[in-house]
Amino acid sequence: MNIHIPTWIDGTLQPVEKLEVHQRGLRHKAVSVFIVRDGNVLLQRRALGKYHTPGLWANTCCTHPQWGESNLDCATRRLDEELGIVGIPLTFRDTVEYRADVGGGLVEHEVVDIFVGEMPINVEPVINPDEVMDTIWRPLIGLAEDMLQAPDGFTPWLKIYLREYSDLIFEKT
């Protein structure tokens, strides 16, 4: 299935096929979600079948809205598709922009709406193995140390989020 995502070309949003967007490094819309609980953040390890950054640790989930889909609807949909997480209210934190080489000649140049949600104690993710190979709850301080010890184990965007936007993302958690 070809997924077309909102991409800026000549200053206007246009639907462009997802792989082409990354091959050309085009500026496009995205969402990132951070689920927290008791001072910990839920991370996912990307499935080995992903076409970029397989096997790397990332934030709870992230994706691109489909053409015509709202960013909040996209974030809610993707939490369910990847992690079986439903019914968690998401709070919009801000929109940020970054550009990162994700390997294999692919570039993420994203304008990202960041959402945060709090997961109740009695709820655990149910991973979709086509998307996610593992999850872990990590305290923010521990996560920063993990990245220092093994930076190649984390996605470029998670490193950017924690280095440049951590206060913005986790300000009220």
61 is an active site residue:
no
For residue 20, report the phi and psi dihedrals to the nearest 5 degrees.
-60, -40
Which residue type, as a one-letter code, is found at position 68? G
DSSP of 5-40: EEEEETTEEEEEEHHHHHHHT-EEEEEEEEEEETTE
- Provide the 3-class DSSP secondary structure of residue 70: coil
Q: Which residues lie below 8 Å from residue 141, measured CB to CB, with a gap of 6+?
A: none
How crowded is the C-beta side of 78, counted as CA atoms within 13 Å?
26
| Pairing relationship of beta strands 106-118 and 27-37 according to DSSP bridges | parallel
Annotated catalytic residue, options 61, 62, 74, 108: 62
Active site residue 20: no
Contacts with 18 (C-beta within 8 Å, 6 or more apart), sequence order: 2, 3, 4, 5, 64
What are the catalytic residues? 62, 110
